[in-house]
A and B are shown apart, each in its own frame.
Chain A
Amino acid sequence: MYKYNISVGEKIFTIVNYIILIGLGLVTLYPFIHVTCIAFSTQAEAMRPGLHLWPREIDTSSFELILGADDIWNAYYNTIYRTILGTFLSVLTTGMGAYALSKKYLPLRNIFLGAILFTMYFSGGIIPSYLLIRGLGLLNNRWSMILPSLVWGYNLIVMKNFFQNIPESLEESARIDGASDFIIFIKIIVPLSMPVIATIALWMAVYHWNAYFDNLMYINDKSKYVLQRMIRGLIVSANMYYSDISALNETSNIWPESLKSATILVSTVPILLVYPFVQKYFVKGVMIGAIKG
């Protein structure tokens, strides 16, 4: 829209618009600032109600406690393990399957697509899933965090559509030379598909990093807890059940909310650091999915 004369009403609108948007930005950011301050505050300062924009009295003992707790580092390890392995296997499986489904001459293609589409709208629910994992003997097993979320219908469709848009001619010359479908996939398709691979990989990575519910359902062994689940026990449950940390806290006087805040920070900082650089892939991914889906 371009205008020759900007009326007073328009100017006011623009100013109000900017105020609202800046307000939104501040309201979104403030909770993170608040928590950061509490994490670094002494007990007296942390207990003060009201706004916390910077820690007036600094005390890093909450951090020392959290960073010294083995439970946390173990949970970190579990999360990183499942994120890397889960993302890699997901992208590999989904990619191969999507490539196969992108070929119109694939036998039984429509049946497969229909069956997959159906599962996007209808699922068995958490109880049958739990019983299935139990029946497969995967309870308390790290694979129970990776296998159930291996392939998502939505990701398959996004990748399939992307592959379908790659011109056949690029594959033709390789076929003439006698290359098999798999070789073509690895050597030609994959290098061309880096944008969609990056998008799917990021989606899966964020999913795995934040996942806690499957861990909650399938795993009882504390040594296999993931980060978010450990945090849930500390932050969300009414009791601080995890012996390491609560035992440590009995001997020092850290205000529980400072401890919780430090825990929040320790688990969120990786995402916050990585986020600004990768968010554009996610946005693009949503658009690809929305337009083609």
Chain B
Amino acid sequence: MKTLSNDVKANNSIIAKPKKGLWYEIWRYKILMLMLLPTIIYFIVFRYGPIVGIVIAFQDYTPSAGQGFIRSIINSPFVGIKQFHKFFTSMNGLQVVINTVLISVYKIIFGFPAPIVLALLLNEVRQQHFKKVIQTISYLPHFISWVILAGILRIIFSPDTGVIVPIYKLLQIEPINFLGDPKYFRILLVVSDIWASVGWGSIIYLAALSNIDIQLYEAATIDGANRFQQLWHITLPSISSVIVIMFILRVGNILDAGFDQVFNLLNPAVVSVGEIIDTYVYSRGLLNMDFSYSTAVGVFKSLIGFGMVLGVNYIAKKLGQEGIW
């Protein structure tokens, strides 16, 4: 029996016993190991395989026909950081990074508080039924792919037949083409992203809010605190650790400006303001077949992102909050 022998093992720690060795353990638990095997194979092939492939960022990779993954890598010349240098000195590279950061920052400034506010508002609702209905409706866009959402946005914001067009006509100004005008495209990105994610994003804050002890509020009421004082002194401090963790995660992903959304809304007219790092990697890598170059760009993004998470986590800890590690 397995648990029994584990106990015996622990108790025998002061008695010298022959170490049976790793292979013995593996054989002993062979059924479990077999159950784990598909998962392990999967991770080695499909997760670590591509990680090995990152090496091509330092090469002039050319896929040799019919030679397989590893062979092609071994056969391609090593060029050090030439691909990275190419990215840093290109006009496109700079523009793409600027777009990514700007879009992400706008989304954080306007989009990060939105689910928190929604959660606070929903928390104030007495009627459970109404609350559930609004919540259910608000989660809906999360389950629809951006392919569909982008299609819907194109119809609604069409400059000729869209929903807001009569208002422009009334005000006698030119209709704004959110989809095709570089001046307004980012606004569309930020607002539609908030629309699609505010409901789902509020779940985690609502869960945190529901964990606050009611007695704190009761005591505050007896002491004469009004709603806003209670909000400021009880509610917000109680969910502050959740907010900080979510913020760390969000800022750590600052170079993720929302690939799915941008990929489906991007069109040639707005590329100058809308091309983000991920769409750039896609178009240079899979459309132009610049494999090494686009991988280098991707590696750059991953490293910066990782550094950001560590950095913000560190700062948060210095300020006295709990970080992720």
* Secondary structure dominating the interface of A: helix
Q: Quick check: is A48 within 8 A (CB to CB) of the other chain?
A: yes
Q: Is the CB of A107 within 8 A of B29?
A: yes
Q: Quick check: is A68 within 8 A (CB to CB) of the other chain?
A: no
Which of A21, A46, A115, A271 has most chain B Cβ within 10 Å?
A: A21
B140 interface neighbour in A10, A20, A28, A232, Cβ under 8 Å = A28
A135-B68, A236-B147 known; A128+B42 contact, CB < 8 A? no
Cβ contacts under 8 Å, A122 to chain B: 51, 302, 306
Q: Quick check: is A67 within 8 A (CB to CB) of the other chain?
A: no
Q: Quick check: is B17 within 8 A (CB to CB) of the other chain?
A: no
Binds A, one of B1-9, B89-97, B99-107: B1-9
Q: Is the CB of A182 within 8 A of B35?
A: yes
Cβ contacts under 8 Å, A260 to chain B: 151, 154-155
Q: Is the CB of B156 within 8 A of A31?
A: yes
A49-B163, A50-B165, A232-B147 known; A132+B134 contact, CB < 8 A? no
Q: Is the CB of A1 within 8 A of B72?
A: no
Cβ contacts under 8 Å, B81 to chain A: none
Count class of interface residues, chain B: 35 or more
Q: Mark A22-66, 1 if CB is under 8 A from B, else 0.
A: 101101110110110010000000111111100000000000000
B:265-313 near A, CB below 8 Å: 267, 281-282, 285-286, 291, 294-295, 298-299, 302, 306, 309
Cβ contacts under 8 Å, A116 to chain B: 43
Q: Which residue of B lies closest to A35 (CB)?
A: B152
Cβ contacts under 8 Å, B141 to chain A: 28
Min C-beta distance of B185 to chain A, whole Å? 15
Q: Is the CB of B22 within 8 A of A108?
A: yes
Q: Is the CB of B152 within 8 A of A31?
A: yes
Q: Quick check: is B48 within 8 A (CB to CB) of the other chain?
A: yes
Inter-chain CA distance A21–B133, complex, in Å, is 10
Q: Quick check: is B217 within 8 A (CB to CB) of the other chain?
A: yes
Q: Quick check: is B232 within 8 A (CB to CB) of the other chain?
A: no
Q: Quick check: is B139 within 8 A (CB to CB) of the other chain?
A: yes
A:195-221 near B, CB below 8 Å: 206, 210-213, 217
Q: Is the CB of B121 within 8 A of A20?
A: yes
Q: Is the CB of B47 within 8 A of A47?
A: no
Q: Mark A243-285, 1 if CB is under 8 A from B, else 0.
A: 0000000000000010011011001100110011001001100
Q: Quick check: is B111 within 8 A (CB to CB) of the other chain?
A: no
B46 interface neighbour in A97, A148, A212, Cβ under 8 Å = A148
Q: Is the CB of A264 within 8 A of B152?
A: yes
Inter-chain CA distance A121–B302, complex, in Å, is 9
Q: Quick check: is A290 within 8 A (CB to CB) of the other chain?
A: yes
A100-B36, A151-B43, A182-B31 known; A257+B158 contact, CB < 8 A? yes
B56 interface neighbour in A10, A128, A185, Cβ under 8 Å = A128
Inter-chain CA distance A263–B152, complex, in Å, is 11
Q: Is the CB of B22 within 8 A of A107?
A: yes
Min C-beta distance of A148 to chain B, whole Å? 5
A:117-173 near B, CB below 8 Å: 119, 121-132, 134-136, 147-148, 150-151, 156, 168, 172
Q: Quick check: is B53 within 8 A (CB to CB) of the other chain?
A: yes
Min C-beta distance of B142 to chain A, whole Å? 8
Cβ contacts under 8 Å, A211 to chain B: 145
Q: Which residue of B lies closest to A25 (CB)?
A: B137
Inter-chain CA distance A129–B48, complex, in Å, is 10
Q: Is the CB of B151 within 8 A of A96?
A: no
Q: Quick check: is A175 within 8 A (CB to CB) of the other chain?
A: yes
Q: Which residue of B lies closest to A216 (CB)?
A: B286
Q: Is the CB of A125 within 8 A of B144?
A: no
Cβ contacts under 8 Å, B148 to chain A: 228, 231, 235, 264, 267-268
Inter-chain CA distance A176–B140, complex, in Å, is 48
A132-B50, A235-B147 known; A97+B155 contact, CB < 8 A? no
Inter-chain CA distance A24–B264, complex, in Å, is 24
Q: Quick check: is B237 within 8 A (CB to CB) of the other chain?
A: no
B:211-236 near A, CB below 8 Å: 214, 217-218, 221, 226-227, 230
Q: Which residue of A lies closest to B302 (CB)?
A: A122
Q: Quick check: is A238 within 8 A (CB to CB) of the other chain?
A: yes
A17 interface neighbour in B34, B121, B207, B309, Cβ under 8 Å = B121
Q: Is the CB of A276 within 8 A of B136?
A: yes
Q: Which residue of B lies closest to A183 (CB)?
A: B31
Q: List 14 A-B contacts (CB under 8 A).
A: A2-B221, A10-B227, A27-B195, A31-B152, A52-B163, A97-B39, A119-B51, A122-B306, A128-B50, A128-B53, A131-B72, A228-B145, A276-B136, A290-B207
Enumerate the 10 nearest inter-chain pairs by beta-carbon distance, A residue then B residue, closest first. Answer: A124-B50, A128-B53, A135-B69, A97-B39, A235-B151, A49-B165, A210-B145, A128-B50, A125-B298, A100-B36
Give B contacts to A, CB under 8 Å. Answer: 1-3, 6, 22, 25-26, 29, 31-36, 38-40, 42-43, 45-54, 56, 63, 68-70, 72, 118, 121-122, 124-125, 130, 133-134, 136-141, 143-145, 147-148, 150-156, 158, 160-163, 165-166, 169, 195, 198-199, 203-204, 207, 214, 217-218, 221, 226-227, 230, 260, 263-264, 267, 281-282, 285-286, 291, 294-295, 298-299, 302, 306, 309
